[in-house]
A and B are shown apart, each in its own frame.
Chain A
């Protein structure tokens, strides 16, 4: 488990992380969302031991991570702009990582490189940006570390590659309980892979929630009421987070259990109603509006 306890980090006068407390359980995919400059990369660098927090602690598996070799052996960090040795080939990088990480699986590396149709003997500095990302992801996967930190890793990948990587990640999680932590500014990127999401804004965590829990407790309803009185009755009985009406159709985002909501709706005999799947973005919008933030200003 990764725990950040009241962690702060400043760069000269800029407070990048301000007293953040977060907990990342093993075996789940954690998505770290935030705008540019929110502190995602800084947070990840503290988790993998590159930065030392100014205040607070970052604890991984009950030990401080900074300058802790044995803990760092369980973490692989994929930067948004990964470094490769000049004139190095994927094979060269494989050999280097094999020395650094005892658990590095060379055979799997060769297999994945082939699968992704990359030339292991070709110089990485001749690869495109997307191909370089692929190499860094393959290195990360083959290190077979317990934690895989990805900083805007999926940017630059084409949709096919993105799907392929996601399915590999899911496979890894199921097979060996790997815990990926994925930082991104795009909710759509994280939607179908993350189980737990934290929203970082101006160095602080706005909220950190289980996605399933969020989805279970927030529902979107499309309905047509028979009368205005029944509409008012429903609005007063349910915890409505968001209300919109177009013509006679009402769009409600409601917090609560589905059974209770259904019961309430049926009691007013609407002309029509149905529950619609919420996207991650819609859930976030609702949650952050409650907190007083306009999500559109936070995440594009």
Chain B
């Protein structure tokens, strides 16, 4: 009892010393919660009596995990409390004072640690309650609001503890304020920075290195700040009102407990005579020097190479030397707090230099054989491929990751079991080709032992069409390249083309089943070469449109992705016409066309005089457009059946056979009142171009 009461008395004294930080926390959180909520609810008001339910979404966004401002408040709060609570260890006077007191180190640590938590928690709770009061006054205090508010409190609290404990670790390892801040920066940002460096080195020196990740994916879990932001982000995607992933939070809590134990051990081992020194523990000195100097040297090397015009290795070496000298000298000066010690510890200088050299050699000369490595065919369970620009359907919505590129989706979901064509294509990609057009091939191998290997290559487009078709025309490729083959919740279908803007209709279960079955079959039946010689008539999209109390948008219109509808999908088109009660094949070209301008981008050779002694001169080609306007309906009628709108097609050279040197600008009335016209750029397959047009434009195959 005596110990308990003295604990609280000492705690009270500690809080008296830190009253300014309590006041600051109250001030900041007052504006973060009740004031901000008041503003948001005010903005959501339609009039004095009613709140616009649709505008409440912004309020819920602020309340929920999308609010990264509170993340910043929490991190800054942890920084202030961590520094303020333990910065006495920088001062010999204060160390003499506190450590002469009849209080054990463990108790002193506990008092200061808990004080830092109370300084955050109490103002947070007080202001959160005030905010609930504000929402009650505005008539929006509901179980949803209270639940989300309390959940976010718990989430922010857990991450406050994590970051606070790690910041204390930085304070315990370093002995003055400036070095404290550097130490905190190391703990919060070193992991992601090192990752960026590693990825950059691989990307620069390894030809087959593949990297396509957002910040959170590649940053990993090596920074408490990143882990915090990642946790919030997962719920942003789901737009969920339930933000507690108890497993993750428990893991975070256990990790935090580990850091607290480490903090306590270091605190107990802190020798009072180390107060004021840059680094408190001798053993930490060597570690931090190596961990800072080596990446800095490599970072400088890369930076100089990248910013140099020639991108040469010479600049890499120069940058590496500069970085090595700079980082080593600065670390020695900082640690010894003496400018004249810049070149101290020569052995460590040599060690750091050697490590930078060795690391550089690994990347420059590919000592690990990264580029030449391919797994054995027998060890591969499946493969996923992505051909650059081939199936560019835009972005796909993944349940866990939100909007992702088609590339990423294919690599995640595709599982080609016959990998021979893939290996063959890779083998061909390493051969020289006289063709100037190359395309990107990204491959993900999933091995039988569970590991994955990613590589990317360039392959000559025209020389390897057969192999691409072999891979493309498999059911596995189709099913892995489009989310059409996943079982997902949707109840609304929409159609768009040049004249229909998201015309939608809700389907019942039977209709959904019927349509999907037909559409999937027709899509699979279409080969790559068919696709290249065809242009979609429009696009469909599948919607999930319903009331969902679990989301903070009460009603949700979650659009998945769009799928092309080709003319050959006759049964699908028939069903669509039936659902939409309209002939969707009637396109803009059925409207009244006023004129068609044919434009031919004629390439003409231009020779530049070479001023050198060499006899050969450089040859370049310049585009000289040739135009012809057709207004006679008899001429226009020759065009119309074969014109394909450019906005409907994937105009990448690789994905379509449409002639791109010769195109047409079609002017038409976009409504029946013949009042206003609009222009659409259209294309044709070369064999469909009328002879008279070719003659008028002087067209020849280029």
B272 touches A73 (CB 8 A): no
CB distance from B420 to the nearest CB of A (A): 67
Q: A51-B273, A99-B6 are in contact. Are A45 and B104 (CB under 8 A)?
A: no
Contacting residue for B100 out of A72, A81, A85, CB 8 A: A72
Contacting residue for B101 out of A52, A79, A95, A100, CB 8 A: A100
CB distance from A287 to the nearest CB of B (A): 32
B273 touches A11 (CB 8 A): yes
- Chain A residue with minimal CB distance to B17? A85
A69 touches B104 (CB 8 A): yes
Q: Give residues of chain B (6-27) contacting chain A, Cβ–Cβ below 8 Å.
A: 6, 9-10, 12-13, 16-17
B93: chain A residues at CB < 8 Å are 79, 81-83
Q: Which among A50, A85, A95 has the highest number of chain B CB atoms within 10 Å?
A: A50
B100 touches A49 (CB 8 A): yes
CB distance from A82 to the nearest CB of B (A): 7
B13 touches A79 (CB 8 A): no
A45: chain B residues at CB < 8 Å are 96, 100, 272
- Bound-state Cα–Cα, A100 to B99, Å: 12
- Bound-state Cα–Cα, A297 to B558, Å: 89
A48 touches B13 (CB 8 A): no
- Bound-state Cα–Cα, A101 to B13, Å: 13
CB distance from A278 to the nearest CB of B (A): 36
- Chain B residue with minimal CB distance to A74? B102
Interface string of A224-235 (1 = CB under 8 A from B): 000000000000
A77: chain B residues at CB < 8 Å are 96, 100
A96 touches B13 (CB 8 A): yes
CB distance from A281 to the nearest CB of B (A): 30
B273: chain A residues at CB < 8 Å are 11, 51
Contacting residue for B13 out of A67, A83, A99, CB 8 A: A99
CB distance from A135 to the nearest CB of B (A): 13
Tell me whether B271 is interfacial, beta carbon within 8 Å.
yes
Binding site for B on A (CB under 8 A): 11, 45, 48-52, 67, 69-70, 72-73, 75-77, 79, 81-83, 85, 92, 95-96, 99-101
CB distance from A146 to the nearest CB of B (A): 12
- Bound-state Cα–Cα, A85 to B101, Å: 14
- Bound-state Cα–Cα, A51 to B97, Å: 12
- Chain B residue with minimal CB distance to A145? B102
Q: A50-B272, A69-B104, A73-B102 are in contact. Are A100 and B10 (CB under 8 A)?
A: yes
A50 touches B13 (CB 8 A): no
Tell me whether B94 is interfacial, beta carbon within 8 Å.
yes
B102: chain A residues at CB < 8 Å are 69-70, 72-73, 75, 100-101
- Chain A residue with minimal CB distance to B9? A99
CB < 8 Å A-B pair total: 58
CB distance from A156 to the nearest CB of B (A): 16
CB distance from B9 to the nearest CB of A (A): 4
B9: chain A residues at CB < 8 Å are 99
Contacting residue for B103 out of A82, A83, A92, A100, CB 8 A: A100
Contacting residue for A83 out of B10, B97, B271, B272, CB 8 A: B97
A50 touches B103 (CB 8 A): no
CB distance from A111 to the nearest CB of B (A): 23
> Which 10 pairs show the lowest CB-CB distances between chains A and B?
A72-B102, A83-B97, A73-B102, A77-B100, A83-B93, A99-B9, A50-B99, A50-B272, A48-B100, A79-B96
B104 touches A83 (CB 8 A): no
- Chain A residue with minimal CB distance to B268? A67
New A-B contacts (19) at CB < 8 Å, excluding given A72-B101, A82-B97: A45-B96, A49-B99, A50-B95, A50-B96, A50-B100, A51-B272, A51-B273, A67-B104, A70-B102, A73-B102, A75-B102, A79-B93, A79-B97, A79-B100, A83-B93, A83-B96, A99-B9, A99-B10, A101-B102
Tell me whether B289 is interfacial, beta carbon within 8 Å.
no
Tell me whether B105 is interfacial, beta carbon within 8 Å.
yes
- Bound-state Cα–Cα, A11 to B271, Å: 10
Q: Give residues of chain B (56-101) contacting chain A, Cβ–Cβ below 8 Å.
A: 91, 93-97, 99-101
A11: chain B residues at CB < 8 Å are 273
- Bound-state Cα–Cα, A49 to B105, Å: 11
CB distance from B527 to the nearest CB of A (A): 78
- Chain A residue with minimal CB distance to B88? A83
- Bound-state Cα–Cα, A101 to B101, Å: 8
A-B contacts, 8 of them at CB < 8 A, read: A50-B100, A67-B104, A72-B103, A75-B100, A77-B96, A81-B93, A82-B97, A99-B10
- Chain B residue with minimal CB distance to A92? B16
Q: Which among B9, B102, B105, B273 has the highest number of chain A CB atoms within 10 Å?
A: B102
- Chain B residue with minimal CB distance to A88? B17
Q: Which among B9, B13, B95 has the highest number of chain A CB atoms within 10 Å?
A: B13
CB distance from A18 to the nearest CB of B (A): 16
- Bound-state Cα–Cα, A69 to B6, Å: 13
B13: chain A residues at CB < 8 Å are 95-96, 99
CB distance from B109 to the nearest CB of A (A): 12
A76: chain B residues at CB < 8 Å are 100
Q: Which among A77, A95, A99, A101 has the highest number of chain B CB atoms within 10 Å?
A: A99
CB distance from A189 to the nearest CB of B (A): 21
B103 touches A69 (CB 8 A): yes
- Chain A residue with minimal CB distance to B8? A99
- Chain B residue with minimal CB distance to A149? B100
CB distance from B689 to the nearest CB of A (A): 86
- Bound-state Cα–Cα, A107 to B125, Å: 40
- Bound-state Cα–Cα, A75 to B93, Å: 18
- Chain A residue with minimal CB distance to B96? A79
Q: Give residues of chain B (103-160) contacting chain A, Cβ–Cβ below 8 Å.
A: 103-105
- Chain B residue with minimal CB distance to A97? B101
A83 touches B105 (CB 8 A): no
CB distance from B360 to the nearest CB of A (A): 35
A52 touches B96 (CB 8 A): no
CB distance from A64 to the nearest CB of B (A): 13
A100: chain B residues at CB < 8 Å are 10, 101-103
Q: Give residues of chain B (229-274) contacting chain A, Cβ–Cβ below 8 Å.
A: 271-273
CB distance from B645 to the nearest CB of A (A): 75
B94: chain A residues at CB < 8 Å are 83
- Chain A residue with minimal CB distance to B107? A69
- Bound-state Cα–Cα, A83 to B13, Å: 16
- Chain A residue with minimal CB distance to B94? A83
B103: chain A residues at CB < 8 Å are 69, 72, 100
CB distance from B649 to the nearest CB of A (A): 73
Q: Which among B13, B100, B272 has the highest number of chain A CB atoms within 10 Å?
A: B100
